Each structure stands twice: as structure tokens, then as C-alpha cells.
Structure 1
Amino acid sequence: MTRARLETLRFQKISLADVYGDYARSPEVLAEGLERWTRHAENTVQHQLAMAPPMGSRQEQSGASQEYVVGAPQVLDLDLYGQT
């Protein structure tokens, strides 16, 4: 979808017909299909989407050998770039 198309959908309220199409007019058929769909184990597995970092030192959290924290100010020395 293009950005312009997504912008038109931004404030649109979603209806049952938007999600289920013609089945929204036939709730009994939709319920039958949903029951069949939930019988498959792969459709009911819960997946972990995110995880908080473990507690510990900044070094342990970043996994780096140096003390580096994402989002913390860093020194940028342009004179060092290009030197080998």
C-alpha cells in the first residue's frame, strides 16, 4: 500500500465487514469457520513479541567489551576516521 492510501485509512473506523467480508452477514458460518480454525494448534500458539533486557551492568546489557549504552551520548572524533 502506498503512503497516500494508508493516510486515507488512518482515521477510518474498522467494521466487521472490513475484517470478515461477506461472512460478517452470516455469523453462524463465521462461527463455524472460526471453530475449525482454532482446532489447529499453530493458530492458537502465543508468541513472545518482546522482552525486557536482563538486569545487570550496562556492559552486560549491551554485550560489548566497552561500556556502551544505546541512546547515551557518544564522542565523535572525525579526525580518527580514515586513519588506519
Structure 2
Amino acid sequence: MNEIPIESKQIGFVEYDRERSCMIAHFTTGEVRIYSVSWEEYSVLGSSANKYDCFVRMTSSRSQRQPAEQPAGAERKQMPIRQRR
């Protein structure tokens, strides 16, 4: 899975599961949310100058997948959060 750090107080990082065609967002609270996103859309997020704003635009019009569909091990990763400048 390809991880993208998000410079935000709320979101640590996102990663993409190609097998399920979904983006997994890891929040600083430990919460994990899963969104149906194409690889092309995810790639745009990776190259965006402002990843947080791009993430918000991508997810604001989408519903989350149910927690039962969470890929195995998605909750195990934690990443230190960078302070927003």
C-alpha cells in the first residue's frame, strides 16, 4: 500500500488498497475511515501541493464504507503527526 502523509492535526496519513479500490484514512485519534476512491483520484492527492484540502474535497461528497469492509490490519498503523505550518 502506498502511504501519503497529510499535514493535518486530524489526519495522520492515507493509504490506498488496490485490491478493494479504496482509500484508507488514518486519523490522529486512532479512527480509521475507508472511502471508495479510484487510483487516479488517489494519485492526484499524492501530487497535490495542499493534501489536506485535496482530501477534504475528495471525501466531502462521498460516503464511507462500512467498518466491516475495513482491510485487515488497517487499524494497526500509526504515524507521528507533523505540525501544520
Q: Which structure has more RCO (C-alpha within 8 Å, separation ≥ 6)?
A: 2
TM-score for the superposition, normalised by structure 2: 0.19
Query: Larger % of helix: which?
Result: 1
Give TM-score scaled by structure 1 length.
0.19
* Larger strand share, 1 or 2: 2
